[in-house]
Structure 1
Amino acid sequence: MTAKAWGYFVGVGVSVAVIFILLHQDFDDWNSSGPLNPGHEKLDCNECHISSDGTIRQQIQANVRYLLGKRKMENDFVFTKIANKQCIACHDREDDHHPTYRFNEPKFKKARESIHPELCISCHQEHSGRRISHFKVTDCKLCHKETHIEDDSISVPHHELIKRKDWDTCMGCHDYHGNHDMKLETDLKQRIKLKKIQSYFNTAPFPYSGELIHKAKESIYEK
């Protein structure tokens, strides 16, 4: 065997060994891109990271064909891209106040172009170590500019809050996904303060009153 061939053989062998080590579950901590988000600490990597179809060689070949214009779609490499289905496997329920599929309706086009609320990972980016990674409290304006409630019982009517552009008050009374059995506050002065909500977006406990009525699974294997 020539020195060149031997070098090629060793290089391929080392590369395969490194890939095997990084993909093996015993070395998950080495391969992690950051801390898991609150509530996900018990998840195994393979509960979200699903192996892509085909061998690595086939995946490379498919992507080369895509780059050469001989294939319409690229192929996921090693693992499939994180999609809503991985999140819904643990978080699905019928009465979500803001289900992702709802934002695929035409009337939410501007919201999709701005923050992509139709995707779970737009707000909940994993490995950020935070509960909510990208959402801003003022994002409510993207869908609720025209909100008007008849016989509004709140101390400062919703249309007045909208007129004043007080969008940072919304989350002080409203639980975005409706996870808690809570009574809506009618006195705006009693709302949850913005600083406390922002702390909740990071790692702080739920600031909302009432019992947690929709608890997500701790694992996709949980029945």
Structure 2
Amino acid sequence: MKNYKFKFWHYGLVVTLIVAALITYNLEASDKSFFLSGETSHGHHQIELACTTCHGDGFAGQDFMQQACLNCHAEELVQANDSHPRKKFLDPRNAGLLAHLDARLCVSCHTEHKPEITHEMGVTLAGDFCVHCHSDIAEDRPSHAGFGFDTCASAGCHNYHDNRFLYEDFLAERIDTPDLLANAQLPLRTLVIEWQKTHPDSRPLTAHDMDMEIESVAPETLTGIRHAWADSTHALTNTNCSSCHVDNQTEFTSAEIVTMCGGCHAEQRETFTQGKHGLRFSSQLPEEFRRTVGAMSPVAAQIAMQPAASTELSCTSCHGAHELDMRFAAVEACLGCHDDEHSRNYRASAHFKAWQSDAAEGVSCAGCHLPREENNGRIAINHNQNHNLQPNEKMLPVCLSCHGVEFSVAVLADERQLKSNFRSPVSKGHDTFNLIRDRIARIKTNK
């Protein structure tokens, strides 16, 4: 019998088959990290394996990717009154600008999987990209002569998309306000108040009204649950056990918790799934990804977290399943996970001391990072903790509840202040206000 010998092309065939098998496995498996061409930006790393959300079938083309960006970010840009909307660059008069920077496409400025050139806000352009269109700014604004173009966005003066809180008129209207306002206080929540107004004859439920008994739970544990629930907002608003524990279900996945809570708290669920805490449950992501990848966990974060923080993030991560302790949710739930310098310094801050003495007057972690927003006369909490996180100036509406605008802008532009949780002395104001005062003086002189 003739011996069979491997030839060169046989080895190539074997290698090809192995590679094909690996590719097939990764295509079928939920972990598609094999195909990642590079590290994903801070904003998208949680959903980097939901490849089809941005790329379609891999051959979808540029228009698909642009729409994929808008599927998640279009509403945010509308709310921001986008300073550079796409329609501006569809104007034939601006056609020449597109030769330098095609601002019609999100990926012109935000290219994923390029960690070596990715800066804050996921921008992958050099810091002086403003010069492409604004090289003659000093001709109209002599005060800007000598300013570096790499400082436009980084100095707390301008942001590419969202300038609502840095427009000159907005700042000029509020100039010379005191550092600390006389009536300093965050808006008060109105959710429970509104419920009571619409249910004037309703009485709070008590521990004796609990409509569920669980034989598998020890009596002392059940007693603790009963009294925790009876003291909660749920009992105050007539939400009994069976409202959540349908068919006596006692074990829930993180996804089931978010869906169940969202049945009554749809607005909160929507904003929660827009932020990093709940992004993996966003309705914009493929159902298969949401089902197989699961909730975000602090161990997967790209910023400093407490070593013991490992729980999956859902509604009950902060609010608890039964006690709904709002003070815990406002501070301890945050510090139980976050271990960056800003978070570690919070307990030594003036904000924390004021909050300890009076939660209504003081400022908690949630008071700043889950802002209370007015909508049609009602105050609701935005559970998207990224809503006003970056750039720093987006925090201004919260700061202005208690502080003057010049003080607030100066503090938010000071990296030292942010890291120390506003414990460092404010050494000076912000140059923006000096420019505004000079401009006002020139206008008055020319009249």
- Residue 101 of structure 2 is aligned to residue 115 of structure 1: yes
2:71 aligns with one of 89, 97, 103: 89
Q: Distance in 2 between matches of 1:177 and 1:146?
A: 20
Report the secondary structure of 2:46's partner residue: coil
1:167 aligns with one of 131, 149, 168: 149
1:86: Cα distance to partner? Answer: 1.1
Larger radius of gyration: 2
1:175: Cα distance to partner? Answer: 2.0
- Residue 29 of structure 2 is aligned to residue 45 of structure 1: no
Contact 2:157 2:166 in 1 (8 A): no
Q: Which residue of 1 aligns with 2:162?
A: 178
- 1:92-117 CA-partner distances (Å, limit 9, x unpaired): 03321112342232333333212222
- 1:14-50 CA-partner distances (Å, limit 9, x unpaired): 5643332243352312211122212213322221120
Q: Which residue of 2 aligns with 1:124?
A: 110
Q: Distance in 1 between matches of 2:136 and 2:25?
A: 54
Give ranges in structure 2 of 5+ residues lacking alignment.
1-5, 173-388, 399-447
Q: Distance in 2 between matches of 1:206 and 1:97?
A: 14
Q: Which structure: greater helix fraction? A: 2
- The verdict on how the C-alpha distance between 1:106 and 1:161 changes in structure 2, with shifts beyond 3 A counting, is farther
Amino acid at match of 2:396: G
1:142: Cα distance to partner? Answer: 2.4
Q: Distance in 1 between matches of 2:88 and 2:29?
A: 36
1:135 aligns with one of 103, 107, 125: 125
Contact 1:182 1:211 in 2 (8 A): no
- The verdict on how the C-alpha distance between 1:12 and 1:137 changes in structure 2, with shifts beyond 3 A counting, is closer
Number of aligned positions between the proteins: 160
Give ranges in structure 1 of 5+ residues lacking alignment.
53-75, 149-156, 187-203, 213-223
Q: Which residue of 1 aligns with 2:134?
A: 144
Identity %: 25
Q: Distance in 1 between matches of 2:390 and 2:130?
A: 22
Q: Distance in 1 between matches of 2:71 and 2:33?
A: 23
Q: Distance in 2 between matches of 1:163 and 1:48?
A: 41
Q: TM-score, normalised by structure 2?
A: 0.30
1:160: Cα distance to partner? Answer: 1.1
Bigger relative contact order, structure 1 or 2, given CA contacts below 8 A and separation 6+? 1
Q: Which residue of 2 aligns with 1:17?
A: 21
Q: Which residue of 1 aligns with 2:261?
A: none
Q: TM-score, normalised by structure 1?
A: 0.54
Q: Distance in 1 between matches of 2:159 and 2:82?
A: 10
2:92 aligns with one of 95, 106, 109: 106
Q: Distance in 2 between matches of 1:11 and 1:167?
A: 52
Q: Distance in 1 between matches of 2:51 and 2:161?
A: 25
- Supply the RMSD in Å over aligned alpha carbons: 3.8
